[in-house]
Structure 1
Amino acid sequence: MNSHTEEEPAGDGYDENGYDRPSKSQIKREMHALLDLGKQLVELSPERLKQLPLQERLYEAIRLAQRTTSREGRRRQIHFVGKLMREAPADEIRAQLDVWARGSREETAAMHRLETLRDRLLSDDDALTRLLADHPEAEAQHLRSVIRAARKEQAANAALLPGQEPQKKHYRALFQALKALES
């Protein structure tokens, strides 16, 4: 008869299979997760690395991996980083990486919104009216002049021969004006 009954308390130190420690498979999964996290850290810039809660030894190991050019040497160094990750606060590091990734996605989405608005302003006269209604503090005359210049530039670029470099000075200036308006 089985000595473990369903009435035994869950906090007895055993898992649902009756083992008192993690399985080899579980340990291996955790080690691979730390190795993958270490690989992510090797791809970061030194400025970002300094913002993470890394011990000096781990930081130096990551920096050495970044400088290592030989494939095998880099692989070994990354595995060493993965080993050192066992002592690192992995959850804190993952949380910070998520914040950076999320912020990057939000910045990209904001930039796409501004690009779409810029294209609408270049093709639709009513778009400026709607923009000014949404942003009464905007300098209408400045926006009109930047849009006019960007439209002229766009028309001139359409007439270019193949191989000629298009001008984008006013196109970029309109984007910067919209970006300043949004901030």
Structure 2
Amino acid sequence: MRGRDPDSGEFFAPSRSELRRQALAVFDLAERLAGLSDAQLATLPIPDDLLDPIRHARSIGSHIARKRELQHLAKLMRRYDDSDLDPIRAALTHDARVGRVETARLHRAEAWRERLIEHGDVALAELVAEHPELDRQAFRAAIRKARAERSADTPPHGQRDLFRRLRHLFETNADGDASASESDWSVEQDDDQPPESDHRNA
């Protein structure tokens, strides 16, 4: 983790404050890795000889002992250059971003499901306007079943089916939907506008 002079190309020793910053950055990375499952670790470009120390640090319950083990793990990781550790950081950042997008998409599907159940064809017309490719008849049938279940207080099979349809719709259109926030899709209809019947023709 030495620096290099951009003019001469010679290496120079980093300052004490820079060394401390680097050590803290590696410790933070070690702590993040120790919080991951084996399945998550398998997706990251982690050197093989670090996997067992990561798992060992993860298994320790005592706060003091865990911190000591994380310090040991960070010491092992500091043997590697940034060229080895930066790809791990980049992969973690990517996974976090993907997780946020997926969470927003799930919230969006949930908000739309509630709108469709509450407002029927009014909300469906809005959804069709934004996604004309969707199967309107299939959605109308799913909405009708979900509304009937909710009215009768029966198991929510239709509500789950409607949610799955919405999730699939938004995943299929992920490029256009990824930046949408939940608040964009949870605006309610005006109170003085009654919901239209499900039996009305589209």
* Structure 1: segments with no counterpart, 5+ residues: 1-8, 15-19, 158-165
1:110 to 105, 115, 121: 105
What's the counterpart of residue 49 of structure 2?
57
Cα shift readout 1:139-177 (whole Å, capped 9, x = no counterpart) = 3332112111211222334xxxxxxxx743322211012
What's the counterpart of residue 73 of structure 1?
65
What's the counterpart of residue 5 of structure 1?
none
Distance 2:64 2:15 in 1: 30
Cα shift readout 1:61-101 (whole Å, capped 9, x = no counterpart) = 00111122333332221111111121332211110000000
How do 1:1-183 and structure 2 match up within 5 A? 11=7, 21-88=13-80, 89-124=84-119, 125-157=121-153, 167-182=155-170, 183=172
CA RMSD of aligned residues (A): 2.4
> TM-score, structure 2 length as denominator?
0.70
Number of aligned pairs? Answer: 162
Distance 1:156 1:150 in 2: 10
Residue identity over aligned pairs, in percent, reads: 39
Distance 2:123 2:47 in 1: 53
> TM-score, structure 1 length as denominator?
0.77
Relative to structure 1, the CA distance from residue 135 to residue 12 in structure 2 (aligned partners, 3 Å threshold; closer, same or farther) is closer
TM-superposed deviation, 1:43:
0.6
Relative to structure 1, the CA distance from residue 28 to residue 135 in structure 2 (aligned partners, 3 Å threshold; closer, same or farther) is closer
* Structure 2: segments with no counterpart, 5+ residues: 173-202
Higher alpha-carbon Rg: 1
Q: Could you say which structure has the greater relative contact order, defined with CA pairs below 8 angstroms and 6 or more residues apart?
A: 2
